[in-house]
Chain A
């Protein structure tokens, strides 16, 4: 597998009245052709901004790239001209958004909206784009597709709209499909169908997927690698097995502990992570997670932890990650 996309130390900042908001502050990952990366984290952890940065869809101003690079097939996306970026968008890198109810334009027919990128990037005529759009709707499982292509979005159900969004995203056979919480707005029964559809299309075309979600179940089911984000920074990265079965960062522990489990007798209580996600304008000193971390010590307040290599590509940004005796549940307390 060859590296398709490389994100290196990406910093996406927003200049606000209250100060610089560091939405993404040093994200690094790489994505191979056909691979699936899951990005997980709470709201405001920088997942979506990372995705929008890759598409260069960050409104500027107030947004700006303060550092780092994003390379697609070894070309820097951040250095591309606006026209070059546009020729990538929807063509090589496509995106599926969270809310299918609002992500389709209400005043245009679904088929037209799917055909739009075909006409733009593939130079198709109006007619052949219409035909292809109907085919794509059929591929994503819309019954009676050639008729339904003439419908307006409000005539589609939520699940159908997300299928239409997927049809739109895969229209030009992109190398990378970024899905920003694609199932959050859907019923649970529909969620599985949508994910299955994405996996099916991925296997057919060898598309790489970046799956942004806060649903750890989705991650466990369909991704190869996981990046856990907190306060704009990656705190742990590795394969699904590494992150799920051998997590090294206290934040990852907290996320996993807050999931309901059938095999642990905890009297039905979930264990939440105490406190609130930090302000991205005044990020806590040292490790951004230290105010909420039950294991925090003096060094955590003073020094920002680097991503340390734990072997086999498993990395975590914690001063104690991998050190002996520092294990999940060993509420050391320290100086806290």
Chain B
């Protein structure tokens, strides 16, 4: 197992370099339209001297490969460079923003697991009941709704109309100062919505599939109660593919949720990276993607390792066949 983990970590190195190289190629003049310094100064007319000072300050006068080497050297010291537009350390920006993204992602994953799994299980156990049909119908609707639109609908209903009707209402924007639970509810539900529907559907079909396996009949033939059969014998087998989905989804959420964060003015890294792209603020874009890639790779590794705990047939590194 340790050998396997070590190998996987080594495999991350080329991926990591590949991603950063691509990001630097995008910086090369002419690859993408828009000059960072012009985006920075906007409509203001600046002298050539000022322009050159800014170019020098951000190292844009150096050849691209020199910029890359400098960047990588600094990266290993934890320095992600200086934002063109904000004139702040990128590391500092992400240290400040990342907890917000983490907060939203964890809340959404929690909803996805608790609601998605239990709805899927109940649907499978009470197959073809009214409940099951209702779940199948509502999950199909949910997966086809655009996330931002769902967010806006909720804002209008729970934020604006509930307030108008004198009902308890939810804040529609920001994360509160200090951050509180009320501000978290709608963004988390919005971010979790599609995935929750998918988890419920995968869980349902997995449970149905597993419940038709021979070993479930063996468990019943032992005289176990239906509930015990589901809990002990069906669940663990059914969970394996669902864990993959949730893991990959968590990876995606840790990369920031641009749509949800934009709709709810959530100050996470998704929104930050989106703004930086429009401003050609390369240090933020590069730094953001670097963080996202690392987070994604670590989550994927954790998911793969978790298989070994769920399914004894999987053993990494060639121990015990």
> Interface of A with B (CB < 8 Å)?
55, 57, 86-91, 94-95, 97, 99, 102-108, 113, 116-117, 120-121, 152, 154-155, 165, 168
Contact = CB atoms under 8 A, between A and B. Distances in A.
Contacts of A120: 222-224
B215 interface: yes
Contacts of A89: 220-223
Contacts of A57: 217, 220-221
A107 B311 contact: yes
Given A57-B217, A102-B213, A91 B313 contact: no
B215 A103 contact: yes
B236 interface: yes
Nearest to B217: A57
17 contacts: A57-B217, A86-B225, A87-B223, A95-B221, A99-B214, A102-B215, A103-B215, A103-B217, A104-B215, A105-B218, A105-B233, A105-B237, A106-B237, A106-B311, A113-B218, A117-B223, A168-B218
Contacts of A155: 320-321
Interface in B71-101: none
B310 interface: yes
B313 A106 contact: yes
B310 A90 contact: no
A194 to B, nearest CB: 17
B222 A116 contact: yes
B312 interface: yes
B142 interface: no
Contacts, number: 70
Contacts of A91: 223
A22 to B, nearest CB: 22
Contact of A107 (B220, B312, B320): B312
Nearest to A92: B223
Given A57-B220, A155-B321, A97 B237 contact: no
B219 interface: yes
Given A86-B223, A86-B225, A88-B223, A106 B218 contact: no
A90 B224 CA distance: 9
B222 A90 contact: yes
B141 to A, nearest CB: 28
Contacts of A95: 221
6 interchain residue pairs of minimum CB distance: A89-B223, A90-B222, A102-B214, A90-B223, A105-B215, A152-B312
Contacts of A154: 312-313
Interface string B290-321: 00000000000000000000111100000011
A315 B214 CA distance: 35
A131 to B, nearest CB: 19
A120 B223 CA distance: 8
B208 to A, nearest CB: 12
A186 B135 CA distance: 43
A95 B320 CA distance: 31
Given A97-B214, A99-B214, A106-B237, A90 B313 contact: no
A104 B222 CA distance: 12
Select the residue from B218, B222, B233, B312 with max chain A CB neighbours within 10 A.
Answer: B222
Interface in B194-231: 213-215, 217-225
B313 A97 contact: no
A99 to B, nearest CB: 6
Nearest to B225: A86
Interface in B48-79: none
Contacts of B232: 108
Nearest to A100: B214
B171 to A, nearest CB: 44
Nearest to A55: B221
A117 B228 CA distance: 12
A107 B237 contact: yes
A105 B219 contact: yes
A247 to B, nearest CB: 33
Given A107-B310, A154-B312, A155-B320, A97 B218 contact: yes
Given A105-B237, A168-B218, 18 more contacts: A57-B221, A86-B224, A87-B223, A89-B221, A91-B223, A97-B218, A105-B215, A105-B218, A106-B311, A106-B313, A108-B232, A108-B233, A120-B222, A121-B223, A152-B312, A154-B313, A165-B218, A168-B222
A55 B217 CA distance: 11
A55 B221 CA distance: 7
A116 B215 CA distance: 13
A264 B311 CA distance: 54
Nearest to A107: B236
Interface in B139-186: none
Contacts of B237: 105-107
A212 to B, nearest CB: 14
A60 to B, nearest CB: 12
Contacts of B320: 155
Contacts of B311: 106-107
Nearest to B213: A102
B242 to A, nearest CB: 14
Contacts of B312: 106-107, 152, 154
Select the residue from A105, A152, A154, A168 with max chain B CB neighbours within 10 A.
Answer: A105
B224 A116 contact: yes
Given A97-B214, A106-B215, A154-B313, A90 B221 contact: yes
Contacts of B321: 155
A97 B222 CA distance: 12
A97 B223 contact: no
A168 B224 CA distance: 13
Nearest to B215: A105
A103 B225 contact: no
Contacts of B221: 55, 57, 89-90, 94-95, 97
